[in-house]
Structure 1
Amino acid sequence: MKAIAIFKALADDSRLQIINLLRGKPHCVEDIAEALKLAVSTVSAHLKKLQQAGMVYATKQQYYSVYHIKKEILEMKIIEILPQATPADEDRLAAWKQKVYSTYIKDGKITRLPSQNKKRWLIYLEIIKLFEADKQYQEREINDLISTVYADYCIVRRELVDEGVLSREHGIYHLVPDYEERPGFYQMIWLSSEADLRQKQ
């Protein structure tokens, strides 16, 4: 089981929906396509990637291939999937991070948000450090905190909510304590890239 394959397989909204569907019960390709309003060929391609990552398997029932989720995958924590890094791997990753920081952060201020998803998440991790655990914030307070490091607080606030990092209810925000256990889009891209970055610098 390769961490990169798993995270890349999950870094797609349609494949996440397929996994969620299979959590309930096994489905054939046609049923998945109908439920998600996708073409059968598209679903087949997504299932192939999930199979290659070792996350689902198929059984034959008459003329149909019925797909099942490997439940042991769902029970694993992210830390159990990630490969063990060597000191040299960590040094390469640290060098890459420092290069990103020096490109997008000047004098403690974020000059612009990276367009590349893995770099964007790395910058967002710095912004997340501004929020205290177990503290509730008014929207104005969230805006004020973000604006201390980046001018366009609206896009950052919105994307952190979409990412599942910040929770918003009736205008009150708080940091989701276990957001790392349910990674959103940017974090999933980062996780799928992290092992590569350790080895390719």
Structure 2
Amino acid sequence: MDIEIVKVFKSLADPVRLRLIGLILEEERCGQELAAELSVAPATVSHHLRRLRDAGLLRERSEPPYVFYRFDHDALRRAVQAVTDRKKVTELTAIGLAADKRKVLESFFDGDRLTAIPSQRRKKEIVFEELLRRIPRHEVYTERQLSDYIAAIHDDFCTIRRELIMGKYMEREGKGGSYRLAPRGHAALVEGC
């Protein structure tokens, strides 16, 4: 049930889908009509309609060769009702974040190896926090030690070491000196437990 509520709100977080709902609210429509009305490709409309349908916000009626869609007001009402409780909102937020993090980690890790360094800031944070959880914990790391631990996960240990410093996950003492977890690094490890 909670996952379905998250799906409803995620599906509404797209301008094209909101425009589709606006058109379907007026009257039942088929995909071709919606594509023409919005001046977007039928495949794009099909994708967005599928997301809305999977979230339970649309009902379909088949009249070959067309499928007509109508908005399910009750589904939206139930989702909105569910988030009127503060405790429920907190639970839903945790579910959404956990699912997003899992998806990012599955995209960038192949078993124990990091396959690529993300370019988007939020994805990079998720990956680096996971990387910190995967290296052995020490109070202080020598540069060689830290490089070896990172190299076991990804070949470009220099870039990752630099990113850990720039992201304030680790602090470096002197040129070629020792490394230690910064407060943000400690917080990431605590959060991951």
Band of TM-score, shorter chain: 0.3 to 0.5
Which structure has the bigger radius of gyration?
2
Q: Normalized against structure 2, the TM-score is what?
A: 0.46
